[in-house]
Structure 1
Amino acid sequence: MPSQGFFADILSDDNGINLHRFENVTWAFIAILVYLYKVSLITKGCELPELSDTLLALTGISSATYLVLKSKENDPPV
């Protein structure tokens, strides 16, 4: 199938744009912004930022939800 553009390709499947794909891309973008902000606060040496347990838990929940819904994405209708 020909490409429909980067964002349309990562957000949709055979049935169009899916909510779980949109949520995963949105959350990844938010997590990247938080990480880059925390990296910008580092003033000494080569150090990684300390990420909160809440951010890590929400990222894990988002990824698990995506994987569960992705596994059922192209199942034939019952």
Structure 2
Amino acid sequence: MSTDYPFDHEDFNAMLARSPELFPDCYTGWGPINFMPPEGLLTVEDALLSRGYPRDAVIAITGGNFRRVAAQVWQ
């Protein structure tokens, strides 16, 4: 998971298609990248908990401080 978000993700995917040699296979090997907008990160915790991840692991995965700030900013 990353907090990088290209707001013009179609342009980013077009750039990947035009210049695949600039990126490792992990960017291009699976097809177009589907980006989650920042406000979507707030639902990741619930999804992980519903799949049985322990709360401490979920907090570590989602970045506790980042999530706290995101919850305050993206209401």
- TM-score under structure 2 length normalisation: 0.30
Q: Which has the larger radius of gyration?
A: 1
- TM-score under structure 1 length normalisation: 0.29
Higher strand share: 1
